[in-house]
Amino acid sequence: MLIVDDEAGVRESLRLIFGKDFRLFEARSSDEAVRRVKEERVEIILLDILMPGTDGLEILKQIKTIQPDSQVIMLTALNTARTAFTAKGTGAFDYVTKPFDVDELRLRVDRALEKIQLSGELERLKEEVGRKYGIGNIVGKSRAMLDIFKTVSMVAGKKSTVLITGESGTGKELIARAIHYNSDRRTKPFVVVNCAALPDTLIESELFGYEKGAFTNAYQRKMGHFESAHGGTLLLDEIGELGLGTQAKLLRAIETETFTRLGGTEESKVDVRVIAASNRDLEKLAKVGGFRPDLFYRLNVVSLYLSPLRERREDIPLLLDYFLRLKAQEQAMAPKTLSPEVVDLFISYPWPGNVRELENLIERLTILSPRETITLQSLPEGLRSQDQTVALKENVLKGSRPLSDAVDEFERELIVKALEKTGFNQTKAASLLGTSRRILRYRMEKLNISEHNLVSDNTKVSQ
């Protein structure tokens, strides 16, 4: 704490009040106060508003320039209370009048400390989020991901718009966050708008806000996402779902960095970096009239394509290890391990839901698997049958099984499942398979499939 007052009696009183709780510094003049702030890290400053030479308001401005995070409480006589109130608007945290009540002064100081602690916690959280979305925490070693890392590093510090494309679940929002948190905008808002989740009647008011009375139930002005993201980054997710009318207004907002609220006439200036994401091919969409070509070219300044997981299988073991540790930590459990057979299956599985599907499956297995090691028996039935299909395909490609055998086995599996699903009604099974009962009976005889054989096989398995 720094006490700034030219009266020795006031400084002594404050020293008695706060001497046990703070490391104290004192200043008798404005020059001495400024020198102290330059030399020491000061959190709380008690500043007399009437000082010889430079007045307290001028000192306040200099202090906030040197140490903007310090909290200044102005000490003022009753006849300068209005000036002290003005000081609150120019950087002071609060003010108290002389002669001050000790309990009231302590309360003001406690509130100032609370603000400092909250600010410190906020900065810590921002740093933690920044680390979480740092490039080093995005998992992948494939050439495709290494190229993504390189591009993110190059564009993060720029203001250029970025278009991120790829199938659902590939991590488009994660990459957008990495761009934001590796830029000088990291301490400003990162706002995500899911364009697919908003109907056309609402998207404009959500993006640009609206004025009071713009429509029924518009009882007060509402800030839009562009305004909320001022100074930071706006991610327009699934931008391919926007209507053409909204696309035109969005294009103008990006190009001019201005927008007009719904129902308003006044343009507002905004500083926003726009990142767009889509699981659709916007270039093809633009050629058939589903997306404005001029907006596509404006967004496509820097383009990032996230490959599906099936095209970068070398990343799967890294992702498995990462999610096993992450989900165990989230659930306060010991990390599970995967048997070699499960790892092989996961590497060969096509992952139609990409990284999101893999993450959700690992979370499910972490919670529900009773043993430390997750085996094939722990997997959902769909994945276990996938294992048999993959093994069969690999054996054919290695030359250890002829193609005719693989075709017969695949056909047998389909026919058996159809019969089981229809209660061994051959007519219904044939209809389910899209064939005739006569052809089904022929294939059953060729593959030695009968209800008696299936029942016998099931009985053996159960025994």
The enclosing domain of 437 has a CATH number of 1.10.10.60
The last residue of one of the domains, among 385, 401, 417, is 401
DSSP string, 138-157: S---SHHHHHHHHHHHHHTT
Parallel/antiparallel/unpaired status of strands 267-269 and 258-260: antiparallel
Predicted confidence at residue 459, as pLDDT, reads 41
Same domain as 176, residue 248: yes
The last residue of one of the domains, among 401, 416, 436, is 401
The confidence band for 420, taking pLDDT boundaries of 50, 70 and 90, is: confident
Residues of the domain holding 54: 2-124
φ and ψ of 205, to 5 deg: -70, -30
Does 434 have pLDDT greater than 90? no
φ and ψ of 27, to 5 deg: -145, 135
pLDDT in tens, 277-300: 999 999 999 999 999 999 999 999
| Contact (Cβ atoms closer than 8 angstroms) between residue 126 and residue 41 | no
Tokens 């009540």 locate to 101
pLDDT in tens, 32-83: 889 999 988 899 999 988 877 777 788 888 888 898 889 999 888 765 556 6
Predicted confidence at residue 299, as pLDDT, reads 95
The amino acid sitting at 176 is A
| Distance of alpha carbon 126 from alpha carbon 61, whole angstroms | 27
Six-digit token pair at 63? Answer: 């202090």
Does 456 have pLDDT greater than 50? no
The confidence band for 460, taking pLDDT boundaries of 50, 70 and 90, is: very low
The confidence band for 457, taking pLDDT boundaries of 50, 70 and 90, is: very low
Instruction: Provide mean pLDDT across the span 81-94.
Output: 67
Does 458 have pLDDT greater than 50? no
Q: DSSP class of residue 214?
A: S
Which segments within 9-131 are labelled E, that is strand? 25-27, 44-48, 71-76, 94-97
| Distance of alpha carbon 330 from alpha carbon 341, whole angstroms | 26
Residue 160 lies in a domain: yes
Same domain as 166, residue 269: yes
Buried-exposed string 254-275: b where 16+ CB fall within 10 A, e elsewhere: beeeebbbbebeeebebebbbb
Same domain as 251, residue 279: yes
Count of other CB atoms within 10 angstroms of residue 215? 11
Positive or negative torsion for Cα 227, 228, 232, 237: negative
The confidence band for 167, taking pLDDT boundaries of 50, 70 and 90, is: very high
Same domain as 290, residue 154: yes
Same domain as 201, residue 64: no
| Distance of alpha carbon 108 from alpha carbon 102, whole angstroms | 10
Predicted confidence at residue 126, as pLDDT, reads 55
H or E segment and range at residue 2 = strand 2-4
pTM beyond cutoff 0.85? no
Predicted confidence at residue 461, as pLDDT, reads 37
Count of other CB atoms within 10 angstroms of residue 209? 23
Instruction: Provide mean pLDDT across the span 196-219.
Output: 83
Instruction: Specify the range with the lowest mean pLDDT, choosing from 249-258, 361-370, 447-456.
Output: 447-456
The confidence band for 86, taking pLDDT boundaries of 50, 70 and 90, is: low
Instruction: Provide mean pLDDT across the span 374-401.
Output: 67
Same domain as 295, residue 231: yes
Same domain as 225, residue 302: yes
Predicted confidence at residue 344, as pLDDT, reads 83
Predicted confidence at residue 132, as pLDDT, reads 59
Residue 133 lies in a domain: no
Same domain as 394, residue 406: no
Instruction: Provide mean pLDDT across the span 145-149.
Output: 89
Parallel/antiparallel/unpaired status of strands 233-237 and 273-278: parallel
Contacts of 122 (CB under 8 A, 6+ apart): none
- Count the domains in the chain: 4
| Residue 268: CA count within 13 A, CB half-sphere | 18
Does 89 have pLDDT greater than 80? no
| Distance of alpha carbon 195 from alpha carbon 289, whole angstroms | 18
Q: DSSP class of residue 304?
A: E
Residue 129 lies in a domain: no
Residue 18 lies in a domain: yes
* CA angle, residues 353, 202, 188, in degrees to nearest 5: 70
The rounded radius of gyration (Å) of the Cα atoms in the chain is 34
pLDDT in tens, 4-40: 998 899 999 999 999 888 999 999 888 888 999 998 8
Does 87 have pLDDT greater than 70? no
